[in-house]
């Protein structure tokens, strides 16, 4: 299998051909969307990480947006992730996750003294499990209740982002109709008994219909596990994006 590489682009610089290739890859795994909805969502992001093989074929991608806000009078930012898609033939390959951590490090280098959070809306247990792989403390989680100040921040960021579609009592984002959901053939019931997956499914029982659980973790060196920390430190060393 070809070696994979990544590069970071502004979504607005993507060609029509590249955007069509991204949508074709997305549509292989997700239903409940349209090309117009996909382009609109992509266009409002700040960056997109492309995963490519040696032939230049796109094998995965993840878009993100940086959201500035004030937390107790202090400047802070949140990295908001869009849907991450990887060709299933490359599942388990860590090139894209490592590049994402490096990109987060470069964003941290822009404002080293400002807290940087990862705001993630999760519609599948595979994605939710990344939180435990990346970070030591994240919310919501199965081990500890979410502290009130963290819950207030989650609610504030989610309400600002999703308005009435965010339901604070459940922590879920719900739309009248799905804005994108994993197709049934890609739902992995074999992982349902995994403790992280089981917790996610309890919190988001209608994930297969496109409902999304709002999650938050702090992107700081003392909160990142070894794999994520390696990429994050590489990004810090590269310097501000």
pLDDT in tens, 101-160: 999 999 999 999 999 999 999 998 888 999 999 999 999 999 999 999 999 999 999 999
Q: What is the pLDDT of residue 14?
A: 96
Banded model confidence at residue 181, pLDDT cuts 50, 70, 90 = confident
The percent of residues in the chain predicted with pLDDT above 90, rounded, is 83
Specify the pLDDT at position 17. Answer: 94
148 backbone φψ class: left, alpha, beta (φ>0; ψ -120 to 50): alpha
**More confident of the two residues 187 and 185:** 185
Q: Which two tokens stand for residue 158?
A: 């989610």
Work out the number of other CB atoms within 10 angstroms of the CB of residue 9.
14
Please tell me the predicted confidence (pLDDT) of residue 1: 56
Q: How far apart are CA 156 and CA 185, in angstroms?
A: 35
What count of other Cβ atoms lies within 10 Å of the Cβ of residue 144? 9
What integer best gives the mean pLDDT of the chain? 94
Nearest to 53, CA basis, from 4, 114, 106, 118:
4
- At residue 173, does pLDDT exceed 80? yes
Q: What is the pLDDT of residues 43-88, one digit of tens each?
A: 999 999 999 999 999 999 999 999 999 998 999 999 999 889 999 9
Residue by residue, DSSP assigns 191-217 as GTTSHHHHHHHHH-TTGGGT-EEEEEE
Identity of the highest mean pLDDT range in 83-92, 153-162, 171-180, 203-212: 153-162
pLDDT tier at 2 (50, 70, 90 boundaries)? low
Higher pLDDT, 220 or 3: 220
Q: Which residue has the tokens 């982002």?
A: 161
Going by their DSSP bridges, the two strands 58-71 and 181-182 should be labelled as unpaired
* 25-34, 68-77, 94-103, 189-198: the lowest-pLDDT one: 189-198
For range 182-199, the mean pLDDT: 81
Q: Is the pLDDT at 230 greater than 90, yes or no? A: yes
Q: What is the spatial distance between Cα 232 and Cα 97, in angstroms, rounded to a whole number?
A: 11
pLDDT for res 220: 98
Single out the residue of 119, 99, 88 nearest to residue 182, CA to CA. Answer: 88
> Contact 173/166 with Cβ under 8 angstroms?
yes
Q: Report the distance separating Cα 96 and Cα 5, nearest Å.
A: 8
User: Quick one: average pLDDT of 199-226?
Assistant: 96
Confidence band (pLDDT; 50, 70, 90) for 32? confident
3-state secondary structure of 83: coil
Bridge partners for 157 per DSSP: none
What does the pLDDT read at residue 106?
A: 98
């Amino acid at each position: 299998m070809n070696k994979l590489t990544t590069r970071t682009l502004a979504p607005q610089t993507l060609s029509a051909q590249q955007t069509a290739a991204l949508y074709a890859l997305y549509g292989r795994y997700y239903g409940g969307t349209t090309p117009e909805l996909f382009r609109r969502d992509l266009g409002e992001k700040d960056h997109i990480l492309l995963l490519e093989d040696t032939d230049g074929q796109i094998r995965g991608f993840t878009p993100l947006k940086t959201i500035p806000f004030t937390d107790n009078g202090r400047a802070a930012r949140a990295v908001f992730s869009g849907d991450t898609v990887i060709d299933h033939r490359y599942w388990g390959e860590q090139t894209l996750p490592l590049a994402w951590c490096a990109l987060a490090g470069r964003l941290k280098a822009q404002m080293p003294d400002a807290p940087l959070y990862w705001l993630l809306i999760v519609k599948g247990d595979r994605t939710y499990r990344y939180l435990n792989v990346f970070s030591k403390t994240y919310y919501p989680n199965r081990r500890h209740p979410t502290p009130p100040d963290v819950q207030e921040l989650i609610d504030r960021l989610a309400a600002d982002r999703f308005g009435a579609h965010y339901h604070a009592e459940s922590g879920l984002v719900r739309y009248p109709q799905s804005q994108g959901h994993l197709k049934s053939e890609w739902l992995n019931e074999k992982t349902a008994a995994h403790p992280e997956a089981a917790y996610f499914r309890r919190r988001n029982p209608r994930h297969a219909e496109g409902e999304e659980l709002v999650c938050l973790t702090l992107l700081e060196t003392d909160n990142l596990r070894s794999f994520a920390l390696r990429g994050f430190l590489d990004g810090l060393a590269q310097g501000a994006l």
